[in-house]
Amino acid sequence: MPAPLPLSIETELREFEVLSNPLLNKGTAFTEAERDELHLHGFLPPSIQTLEEQVARRLEALRALGSDLDRYVMLRDLQDSNETLFYALLTQNIEEMLPLIYTPTVGAGCQRFSHLYRRPRGLFLSYPYKHLIRQILAHPHFDAVEAIVVTDGERILGLGDQGAGGMGIPIGKLALYVACSGLNPRTTLPIMLDVGTDNPDCLADPLYVGWRHQRVRGAEYDAFIEEFVSAVRERWPHVLLQWEDFAKHNANRLLGTYRDDLCTFNDDIQGTAAVATGTLLAAINVTGVALTEQRIAVVGAGSAGCGIAALIHRALVEAGLSPAEADRRFWLVDRQGLLVEGMPSAVGLESFQQRFVQPAGAIADWSPRNSDRIDLFDVMRHARPTVLIGVSGQRGAFTEEAVREMARHVAQPVIFPLSNPTANSEARPADLLAWTAGRAIVGTGSPFEPVERDGRPYKIDQTNNSYIFPGVGLAAVALKIRTIPDSLFMAAAKALAAISPARANPRGNLLPPVSDLRRVSYSVALAVGLRAFHEGLLGESMTLDQIEACIRAHVWEPRYPILRHVAPD
């Protein structure tokens, strides 16, 4: 198939104005004709280079830097100056770039955001200016927006409240949307809802760029969110709105409020659940233990942990268990221990946590080590789970004694320490393999160094949401899906499991390599689109045959357009 012809774009901009526009700037790749027409001679070196040559130069400079944070800063600068080059660099080197533009490095980027801030990207919608939200969104610059990632910065990864520094998360997530699934960067919009911060370090920092105020909460917070959502709905009726890194007490509540009225989802709840479920479905092909025989322990009973449990619960029911039978397969452990009726850990729980509280009778014959709580070791000793998932944000939460106890009862324990960034992981893969005599099947949320397996280096699967949310978003945007129920995330999880290398080779990885994320995202998008079609969720009428063509046509490739100057009206 011949390469597609370059897109031609007409612009009124010339000279510094075109060089300062990251969506139009081509740097040294402007052709002779473009330099003539756009008056660029003298502003650029005379050598005309290809995009591939520019990528090689940026890659050399990037690798020469001394730290990942320096590399993160360089990439953010490149994104703000030349987006085509930025995304060409990402898509051609996605495995190397992913840890730099997102976890784990983005955590440090958020912590240092105010000190690294250089130029505007996205929108800061601050509480004192809530009356201006509609006016801000109405700017013509945002006419093409199709996908929004929004945060209020209160629960950034495992780092907690980062205030306005949380903007690094929507910027990074949308970069992954473009690099992994091909959304057009012109159609993406990161938004920070600045309702203040309770982080004393931010409030005391003289360079802090956010609203220097304690967090707004309660009815005032809800009214602000409603004003934002209603303004978004009016401005872009078919936009995808992704909630990111909201605290537990808001994340599920906001999702429940708006999920039936908007094309919206929360990646921390649903994306994390889908990648964990998809990886588990891949793992059972290796262990040979049927899904209906699995017993699941989850450390961290917040939004992410309960979201994972809820989607795996759905998978168990689809596999043949009754809902009541599936309920008893989950053992959720929080900071106060196992969630059990009548225990302190079960007091004051959110509604989404209540469904996973074990009845008192389930532990009647247990002999816990502590009188006031049941810890992870007790769960391993008595419940004997086959699967252990961590979303606690607590480094070392998977203790050696608990993992060794798990391995005493399970031939091939499935263990997923998913907390980000790397420093907050519940355990290191090398330790998990050592404690289980090499029998554990491990997937992590952040990247780790390879381990030795069968005498050779073996790359641990990064059970990262980037396997799921870009494909879900691509389908939602391309097909104008009206709402995103959990059934679509189940379709995404099954699509991921279906392309697991371990299906053909039990000694292979559970997930495709990160370098294949564009292929993975397309497979996920197609599965989600087909499920949405059968559930009547598509925003426009189309046949099954048209779904694949519509998704494929929506994939943007980082190639320079031909720029032509037009005189302003």
Which residues are tagged catalytic?
102, 173
Question: Do strands 387-390 and 414-417 pair parallel, antiparallel, or not at all (unpaired)?
Answer: parallel
Report which secondary-structure segment, H or E, holds 200. Answer: helix 200-204
Report which secondary-structure segment, H or E, holds 332. Answer: strand 330-334
Give pairs for 458-462: CB < 8 Å, separation 24+.
Answer: 459/509, 459/513, 460/429, 461/279, 461/509, 461/510, 461/511, 462/511, 462/514
| Phi/psi of residue 299, nearest 5 degrees | -100, 115
d(CA 87, CA 395): 33
| Phi/psi of residue 210, nearest 5 degrees | -90, -175
Distance set, CA 125 to CA 192, 224, 304 (Å): 6, 10, 26
CB 297 within 8 A of CB 376: yes
CB 12 within 8 A of CB 33: no
Largest CA distance in the chain: 84
**Which residues does 103 contact at the CB level (< 8 Å), separation at least 6?**
157, 420, 421, 422, 445, 446, 447, 464
d(CA 29, CA 7): 15
Q: How far is CA 367 from the centre of its chain?
A: 40
d(CA 292, CA 319): 7
Q: Length of the chain in residues, anyone?
A: 569
